[in-house]
Amino acid sequence: MRNEKGFTLIEIIAVLVILGILAAVAVPKYVDIQKEAKIAAAKGQIAEMKSSANLTYAKLYLKNGTQPSAAEIITDLGTPTTLGAAPDLWTVSFTAASTSAITLAVTKRGTDTDYAASGTWTRP
């Protein structure tokens, strides 16, 4: 008998089948994790927008001595439609929902529309 070394065809097929099964399970999970991460990043941007609204509220309250309305806060913010700097440019909106509430929305980051979230800031 010769001393031949290597894998048999059956062993190679078994390894390929196992790798195929792992790929079929792992790839969809990776895509879900990626989408969840984009939503979490958009929610982080909403939190930053709420912080900006809080700071503007405090500034106007100290300046005028009375509680500012949601419209006054949005006006003072300058109603930005984008936040950040390229390539991290977020498309956002501030909308007065009432005199004491602002609806905040993130619709995309750059050209990626998977980054989307919304929230509400309410006057204290």
User: Which tens digits make up the pLDDT trace of 65-78?
Assistant: 999 999 999 999 98
| Separation between Cα atoms, residue 116 and residue 93, nearest integer Å | 12
Interatomic CA distance for residues 109 and 90, integer angstroms:
4
pLDDT digits (tens, 9 = 90+) for 14-45: 999 999 999 888 888 877 888 899 999 999 99
Structure pTM? 0.74
The kind and range of the H/E element at 104 are strand 101-109
Kindly report the backbone phi and psi dihedral angles of residue 110, in degrees, each rounded to the nearest multiple of 5, phi listed first: 65, -115
Distances in Å between the Cα of 124 and the Cα atoms of 53, 70, 77, 79, 99 are: 11, 11, 17, 20, 12
Query: If you search the block for the tokens 């790798």, which residue do you land on?
Result: 19
From CA 122, how far away is CA 14, in angstroms rounded? 60
Q: Count the residues in the chain.
A: 124
Residue listed under structure tokens 């204290």: 124
Q: What is the pLDDT of residues 96-110, one digit of tens each?
A: 999 999 999 999 999
Domain ranges (residues) in the chain: 9-122
| Structure tokens, 15 | 């390894």
- Is residue 1 pLDDT above 70, yes or no? no
